């Protein structure tokens, strides 16, 4: 099972509750990714957002910068909002990262959990599903065909067009991220694409039927079951002492939940929700190394994972505490998880 980190580039906030200018956060991200590589984590993903609480709107620029200061770690999006992007340009950007990094780029496509990119780039929310379906079809064909001829509804047709540059070995790694709908799982399984489930609420066991459904669809369409890749993306943060880590992180985490919730009609985020999420049947992996090891192994046993992604910058924790969390993940947690899974 691969172990890595997903981030959204959550911005820091000042004492008045206003987001700081994103420049410092962007520089910090590069230092954090460099450390992930140094401590032996397997992959890094950065999300695309167009809001003041997140510093990153173009993951590919962050990943290209990170490619020049890392040696081994895979570099991907988490996610690229494919529905409001041009698949041609997106492929070219990630193929370029793949070349710079000697084949370490991954494009994780999704519809996004926010909607700002749709009006920003001139798309309509009533086309939400159709946009993703058509653009995923084009992206996958670009990855396999060159030149390409293609015609759809939402972008100009391609007529025997070369798409350059090409990824290393002419094969870009493409994943699909899903939030929990059977339709999304069906699509990923039909195409035989690696899938990552965002488990950011409730009891993770509730997702088990979707994992089973994905495997059923994958097998039904005669994909090689030896190549199946399934992962989870879960909110996580690691420290030396479990209670101290949880107490220090709670105000930042709750503030971000409330920022998002204010536009979605959620009630105020309460400490009880946080503590329940940290429990054995909860969706949060926030605490010390031993607790985190147990819960990651619990997720692997439950779902049969090939990838675990710790989303560890929710709410914009300080750079110093993020660096500490990354160090603990790479040096204390990952080795013991790998040892426990050896031979599986």
DSSP one-letter string for 71-138: SS-EEEES-EEGGGS-HHHHHHHHHHHHHHTTS-EEEEEE--S--THHHHTT--GGGHHHHHHHHHHH
Q: Are 234 and 310 in contact (CB under 8 A)?
A: yes
Cα 326 to Cα 93, 231, 246: the distances in Å are: 27, 19, 16
Q: Which residues contact 62 (CB under 8 A, 6 or more apart)?
A: 9, 26, 29, 30, 46, 56
**Tokens encoding 56:** 């990153």
Cis upstream peptide for 79 (omega within 30°): yes
In this predicted structure, what is the pLDDT of residue 17?
86
Q: Are 73 and 104 in contact (CB under 8 A)?
A: yes
Strand, helix or coil at 35?
Answer: helix
**CB atoms inside a 10 Å sphere around CB 340:** 16
Closest CA to 88 of 77, 96, 79, 76: 96
CATH class of this structure's domain 2-341: alpha beta
User: DSSP state, 144?
Assistant: H
In this predicted structure, what is the pLDDT of residue 179?
87
CA–CA gap between residue 162 and residue 321 (Å, rounded): 46
pLDDT in single tens digits along all 344 residues of the chain: 999 999 999 999 988 888 899 999 999 999 999 999 999 999 999 999 999 999 999 999 999 999 999 999 999 999 999 999 999 999 999 999 999 999 999 999 999 889 999 999 999 999 999 999 999 999 999 999 999 999 999 999 999 999 999 999 999 999 999 988 999 999 999 999 999 999 999 999 999 999 999 999 999 999 999 999 999 999 999 999 999 999 999 999 999 999 999 989 999 999 999 999 999 999 999 999 999 999 999 999 999 999 999 999 999 999 999 999 999 999 999 999 999 999 87
Task: List the chain domain ranges.
Answer: 2-341
Q: Which residues contact 292 (CB under 8 A, 6 or more apart)?
A: 236, 238, 285, 329, 333
**Tokens encoding 322:** 């993020």
């Amino acid at each position: 099972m691969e172990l890595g980190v997903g981030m959204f580039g959550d911005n820091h906030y000042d004492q008045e509750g206003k987001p700081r200018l994103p420049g410092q956060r962007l520089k910090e991200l590069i230092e954090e990714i460099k450390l992930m590589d140094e401590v032996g984590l397997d992959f890094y993903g950065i999300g695309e957002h167009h809001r003041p609480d997140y510093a990153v709107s173009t993951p590919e620029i962050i990943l290209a910068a990170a490619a020049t200061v890392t040696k081994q770690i895979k570099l991907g999006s988490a996610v690229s909002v494919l529905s409001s992007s041009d698949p041609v340009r997106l492929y070219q950007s990630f193929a370029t990262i793949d070349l710079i990094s000697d084949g370490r780029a991954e494009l994780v496509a999704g519809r996004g959990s926010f909607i700002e990119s749709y009006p920003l780039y001139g798309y309509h929310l009533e086309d939400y599903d159709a946009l993703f379906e058509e653009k995923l079809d084009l992206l996958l064909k670009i990855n396999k065909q060159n030149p390409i001829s293609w015609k759809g509804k939402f972008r100009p047709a391609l007529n025997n067009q070369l798409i350059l540059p090409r990824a290393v070995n002419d094969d870009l790694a493409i994943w699909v991220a899903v939030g929990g709908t059977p339709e999304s799982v069906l699509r990923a399984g039909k195409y035989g694409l690696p899938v990552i489930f965002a488990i950011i609420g409730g009891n993770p066991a509730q997702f088990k039927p979707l994992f089973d459904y994905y495997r059923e669809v994958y097998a039904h369409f005669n994909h090689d079951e030896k190549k199946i890749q399934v992962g989870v993306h879960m909110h996580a943060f690691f420290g030396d002492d479990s209670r101290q880590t949880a107490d220090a992180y709670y105000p930042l985490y709750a503030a971000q939940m409330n920022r998002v919730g204010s536009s979605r009609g959620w009630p105020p985020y309460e400490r009880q929700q946080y503590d329940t999420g940290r429990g054995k049947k909860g969706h949060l992996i926030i605490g010390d190394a031993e607790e985190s090891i147990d819960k990651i192994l619990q997720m692997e046993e439950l779902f049969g994972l090939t990838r675990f992604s710790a989303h560890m910058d929710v709410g914009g924790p300080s750079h110093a505490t993020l660096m500490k969390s990354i160090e603990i993940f790479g040096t204390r947690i990952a080795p013991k998880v790998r040892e426990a899974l050896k031979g599986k």
